[in-house]
Amino acid sequence: MTSSQILELLKTNREYLQRNSDFALNDLHDLALQYSNHADEEVQLSLAFNQGLAQIHFYSQYAKAIENSLQAIEKFKASNHTSLIERHHWLAGHAYAHIGEHIHAENYLLQALQLLEDFSPVPYAQKTNVLYSLAINNHYRGGDSKISVAYLQQILEMPETESVPTRKASSLNGIGMFCVQAGNYEKALTYYLPALKISEDDYDLLNMAACYSNLGGSYLRLMNLEKAEGYLNKALDLRIKVGTPEHLAISYFNLAELNRQKKKYPLALDYLNKSREILVRIDNQASLKQADELLQEIKSLMS
């Protein structure tokens, strides 16, 4: 099989990995067995990138994804395949953001943005991924929400975004999240609801789950527990089918908080224990600390 044919297989596999398809995971395993020693460095870079995506999308193994991409960057630092080198910088930055290494995250994401300047026109999908990750990293590190919103507004203002529903929905969701951060839950709904409409029309299950979760969280803070429960249960149902372990843990945590509000403490503990089990497995210490605090609060209310 020629390099072009292998790259086409990897491109198709990548699209399905990003939609959390179990078939894609099995397919990637087969591709790695067949082509891990292929001489073409573009094939090697592309295969390594897919493997990093799989580690994130299926297992929330951010540290392994970082190691995978840093090895690829070092091994192929003299490569002319700048686009794929940029992809590995983005993936490393994206993963660093999730484990709280925000300075490293920003460095790699800004390097990715700089590498994109070598292209004309700049690849839309790649630039929007970098901008979105910069916005989220800034949020995680407690930066000024205006900076994060500015990154997301750049995406919304790009002419191509109107024809890319998933990216528009993600950006709207992101701005809604920063409204929540500012305590403006009603305003957040004005971003979350159109994001949900886009995701449902496109039948994008991952973004649908994110929208349901965000809407549920906003209604929970507004103390509209009936609406909150409906959306949070929808998010959980989807994430059991297609979500990452990290997002599934978030859904269980949100339902624990909901049932604490409803004073259904045994049910709240059941959801919280499921969340903690996942967080321990993926070694997410920041979220585990938050779950432990809620656990102590529920236990004190039950005593």
What is residue 127's predicted lDDT score, i.e. its pLDDT?
96
Cα–Cα distances in angstroms (integers) from residue 245 to residues 37, 100, 276, in the given order? 31, 17, 11
For 77-132, the pLDDT digits (tens) are 999 999 999 999 999 999 999 998 999 999 999 999 999 988 888 999 999 999 99
DSSP 8-state class, residue 284:
-
Res 67 pLDDT > 90: yes
Res 46 pLDDT > 90: yes
Q: What residues contact residue 299 under an 8 Å CB cut-off, 6+ apart? A: none
Q: Per mean pLDDT, which of 134-148, 170-184, 261-275 is the most reliable?
A: 261-275
Mean model confidence pLDDT for the chain: 94
Res 283 pLDDT > 90: no
Write the DSSP assignment of 171-232 as a string of letters.
Answer: HHHHHHHHHHHTT-HHHHHHHHHHHHHHHHHHT-HHHHHHHHHHHHHHHHHTT-HHHHHHHH
Q: What residues contact residue 143 under an 8 Å CB cut-off, 6+ apart? A: none
Q: Dihedral, CA atoms, 120, 125, 131, 135, nearest 10 degrees?
A: 180
User: Residue 144: which pLDDT band, with cuts at 50, 70 and 90?
Assistant: confident
Q: Where are the domains of the chain?
A: 1-59, 63-141
For 148-202, the pLDDT digits (tens) are 999 999 999 999 999 998 899 999 999 999 899 889 999 999 999 999 999 999 8
What amino acid occupies position 67? E
Q: Cβ–Cβ contacts within 10 Å for residue 183, how many? A: 9
Indicate the pTM of the whole model.
0.78
For 162-173, the pLDDT digits (tens) are 999 889 999 999
What is residue 244's predicted lDDT score, i.e. its pLDDT?
87
User: Residue 36: which pLDDT band, with cuts at 50, 70 and 90?
Assistant: very high
User: Which residue is it, tokens 């004190």?
Assistant: 300
Closest to 55 (Cα-Cα) out of 87, 97, 20: 20
What is residue 286's predicted lDDT score, i.e. its pLDDT?
82
For 212-250, the pLDDT digits (tens) are 999 999 999 999 999 999 999 999 999 999 888 999 999
What amino acid occupies position 148? S
